[in-house]
Amino acid sequence: MISIGMVNELAIMCQRLGVDVWEVIDAAASKPFGFMKFTPGPGLGGHCIPIDPLYLSWKMKSFHYNARFIELASEINTNMPRYVVSRILEAMNDRGKILKGSKVLVLGAAYKPDIDDVRESPALDVIGLLKQKGALVEYHDPYIPHIHHEHDGWQMNSVSDMMKSVKDADAVIIVTNHKDYDYEAIIKTAKFVFDSRNATGKLGKNHEKVERL
């Protein structure tokens, strides 16, 4: 959790500095020893990493101790879906579009690639926040045919014709980097792509249609 929180904050700082965070990570990964690669994204998901460290933090409060690294990392990671949506809003404004009333397609609902698990998935928060902003949101996930968000009271079905939805959308948001997706075709067909996972890699770098986290 803490390492992911650090790299997520690094992404925010790099954006302010006008630096490509993915180039920074690649440069750091060239170190031949003592380096473990973590990458930023739209938030944390799953049943363990976002939750289990908070049990330790909660327990330490009974010993009058504040687990500051855990609390700060959780705060940063929890805020990433909101940060992603703010970046999408800004990017669309730069392209002369407003988010309210725009068609938005979210690609990927699972909390990590190539699985059928939505527990604590940041995609749910991204979808909910986009809907709050007035966007007309659809999603596609080859592993998740239906979402029922009990807490916020909404449900959605995965679109049946993904490439048609890509073509029709004002913005395509890559939240989960499934290997099944043809990112070259998606970039070619879409009007605008926000890539929160660097799923488009070199294809998306400096591409006029693509903005990366």
Q: Which residues are catalytic?
A: 48
Number of H helices and E strands in the chain, helices first, is 8, 7
Q: Amino acid identity of 40?
A: P
Whether the CB-CB separation of 166 and 143 falls below 8 Å is answered with no
For residue 192, give both structure tokens.
């605008």
Which of 96, 76, 52 shows the shortest CA–CA distance to 3? 76
CA distance 163 to 160: 9
Place of tokens 């807490």: 151
Compute φ and ψ for 108, nearest 5 degrees: 100, 125
Compute φ and ψ for 194, nearest 5 degrees: -105, 120
User: What stretches of the chain adopt beta strand conformation (E)?
Assistant: 103-107, 136-140, 146-149, 154-157, 171-174, 193-195, 210-212
